[in-house]
Amino acid sequence: MFQGPELWTKIASDPTTRAYLEQPDFMQMLRDVQRNPSSLNMYLSDPRMMQVLGLMLNIKIQRPEASESSQPSSSPPSQPQEQPEAKAREVEPEPEPEPMEVTNEEKERKERKSSAQKEKEAGNAAYKKKDFETAIQHYTKAMELDDEDISYLTNRAAVYIEMGKYDECIKDCDKAVERGRELRADFKMISRALTRKGTALAKLAKTSKDYDIAIETFQKALTEHRNPDTLKKLNEAERAKKELEQQEYYDPKLADEEREKGNQLFKEQKYPDAVKHYTEAIRRNPKDPKVYSNRAACYTKLGAMPEGLKDAEKCIELDPTFSKGYTRKGAIQFFMKEYDKAMETYQAGLKHDPNNPELLDGVKRCIEQINKANRGDLTQEEIQERQNKAMQDPEIQNILTDPIMRQVLVDLQENPRASQEHLKNPGVMQKIQKLVSAGIVQMR
């Protein structure tokens, strides 16, 4: 309400507020409120500001002295009422001050602000049409007319980003932040300027250290205002920095050297030291499947099966035709007594390398263990251990909680004729075989 051109007209035309325009301290208060609307609360204790606020809201704000005079008399009832002729005479109203015109300086200021807003609107329209040169001209003109609105700077900075003029964008953003601090501008406007500066810095970044400056700028913007768009740009900058760091560190030659050092330590049975060199090799070249295979073998020797399994799976992911990945994974699963899973892994490897002796031997050993369990050659403790491990498998859990499969298992025990019909279903048969391989079901 304090920004519109009608403010000065209303104050000057109202007899109760007209005289305020001649008071320098009141004029300063109004200018402060126009620059920073949140400062209004500081001046509400001044009755002049309350009077103007009521005028702008079209409500009548009663002064304290007026409300006191309107209170009913508290005289004791025993006192005689005053006679009509003894009543105090009403205070004669003061003569209305002569109308005062707005100063030429204020009039020119309002006209400049109005013209600046029109230039901004024209710049916005040009920006939407991607006529960036024209938009720059309008925003620049708006800044020349009114230096108390930093949105002209931030808008021009946005145009510079679209034009790829990132250095000019950064300069405008720095000016906007500095001027905004002087004017006590809204924190959202400061945050917007910092966000656009961070965007320009990220566009200019060529090294991971360059991204550090952009990330720091986005973080400063978030301390001013928690904007989702700023947070998104921060995450993108952090991700880009990480990728660039990997690219800067990438060196296949050094990776091969580190892998060879790891191989030598592996032969010497110094497995923890070998892991360190294999890890460094992966950092230097994360796309080499052989180093994952080698580190998986190290983890197996150290008994770190989950880590070894993860490396073996990464090896297969990078090169599905690399037999070592399947033999590493199958060996870990076999060691963990997951014979059915190990069998599947070895068979998957044989599809790419049908005559691989390690894969063929792995299949043979898995069959022996599965048959051993089916013949009942395992001790009760071994059976229990195998079943407990199988019950932790999500696939086994899904089969056992399936209502249809639960009925099939009941029929296998109590209704042989019905079970024969179930076994004709390939899907059911596959699940039964899965339970048999895991040691959950034993076929006699």
pLDDT at 74: 41
Q: Which residues contact 78 (CB under 8 A, 6 or more apart)?
A: none
Tokens 């960036």 appear where?
A: 132
pLDDT at 62: 56
Average pLDDT over residues 123-151: 94
Q: What is the pLDDT of residues 296-328, one digit of tens each?
A: 999 999 999 999 999 999 999 999 999 999 999
Residues 54 and 61: beta-carbon distance below 8 Å: yes
pLDDT at 5: 63
Taking CA atoms, 169 is separated from 183, 196, 211, in Å, by 21, 8, 17
Residues 201 and 210: beta-carbon distance below 8 Å: yes
**Distance in angstroms (rounded) separating the CA atoms of residues 138 and 160:** 13
**Distance in angstroms (rounded) separating the CA atoms of residues 331 and 185:** 66
**Distance in angstroms (rounded) separating the CA atoms of residues 298 and 287:** 19
**Distance in angstroms (rounded) separating the CA atoms of residues 122 and 142:** 10
On the question of pLDDT at 126 being above 60, the answer is: yes
Q: What is the pTM of this model?
A: 0.49
CATH number belonging to the domain at 109-246, selected among 1.25.40.10, 3.40.190.10, 2.60.40.1180, 3.20.20.70: 1.25.40.10
- Mean pLDDT computed over every residue of the chain: 84
DSSP-based three-state secondary structure for 102 = coil
**Distance in angstroms (rounded) separating the CA atoms of residues 432 and 413:** 13
For residues 65 and 265, the model is more confident at: 265
Query: Within 10 Å of residue 400's Cβ, how many Cβ atoms?
Result: 15
Q: What is the pLDDT of residues 36-67, one digit of tens each?
A: 877 777 777 788 888 888 877 776 655 544 44
Same fold, 109-246 and 250-379: yes
Residues 275 and 239: beta-carbon distance below 8 Å: no
Confidence of residue 32 (pLDDT cuts 50, 70, 90): confident
For residues 2 and 33, the model is more confident at: 33
Confidence of residue 411 (pLDDT cuts 50, 70, 90): confident
Q: What is the dihedral of CA 285, 286, 287, 293, to 10 degrees?
A: 100
Q: What is the pLDDT of residues 376-409, one digit of tens each?
A: 666 667 666 766 767 777 877 888 888 888 887 7
In 20-88, alpha helices (H): 24-35, 40-43, 47-57, 64-69
Q: What is the pLDDT of residues 144-171, one digit of tens each?
A: 999 999 999 999 999 999 999 999 999 9
pLDDT at 94: 59
For residues 109 and 330, the model is more confident at: 330
**Distance in angstroms (rounded) separating the CA atoms of residues 35 and 435:** 76
pLDDT at 418: 66
Domain at 250-379: CATH architecture:
Alpha Horseshoe (1.25)
On the question of pLDDT at 274 being above 80, the answer is: yes
Residues 195 and 233: beta-carbon distance below 8 Å: yes
Domain boundaries, the chain: 1-64, 109-246, 250-379, 391-444
Query: Within 10 Å of residue 21's Cβ, how many Cβ atoms?
Result: 17
**Distance in angstroms (rounded) separating the CA atoms of residues 149 and 114:** 12
Query: Which range is least confidently modeled, 18-27, 115-124, 273-282?
Result: 18-27
Q: Calculate Rg over the CA atoms of the chain.
A: 41
CATH number belonging to the domain at 391-444, selected among 1.10.260.100, 1.10.3720.10, 3.10.580.10, 3.40.50.11900: 1.10.260.100
In 73-186, alpha helices (H): 104-128, 132-145, 151-163, 166-183
**Distance in angstroms (rounded) separating the CA atoms of residues 317 and 148:** 59
Nearest to 113 by CA among 1, 5, 2: 5
Nearest to 203 by CA among 174, 231, 247, 168: 168
pLDDT at 85: 45
User: Using CB atoms within 10 A of its CB, is residue 192 exposed (0-12), middle (13-18) or buried (19+)?
Assistant: buried
Q: Which residues contact 271 (CB under 8 A, 6 or more apart)?
A: 265, 298, 301, 302
Tokens in use for 162?
Answer: 């679209």
3-state DSSP percent of the chain in helix, strand and coil, to 5? 75, 0, 25
Confidence of residue 24 (pLDDT cuts 50, 70, 90): confident
Tokens 């329209």 appear where?
A: 125
Residues 220 and 230: beta-carbon distance below 8 Å: no
Query: Within 10 Å of residue 39's Cβ, how many Cβ atoms?
Result: 13
**Distance in angstroms (rounded) separating the CA atoms of residues 62 and 233:** 52
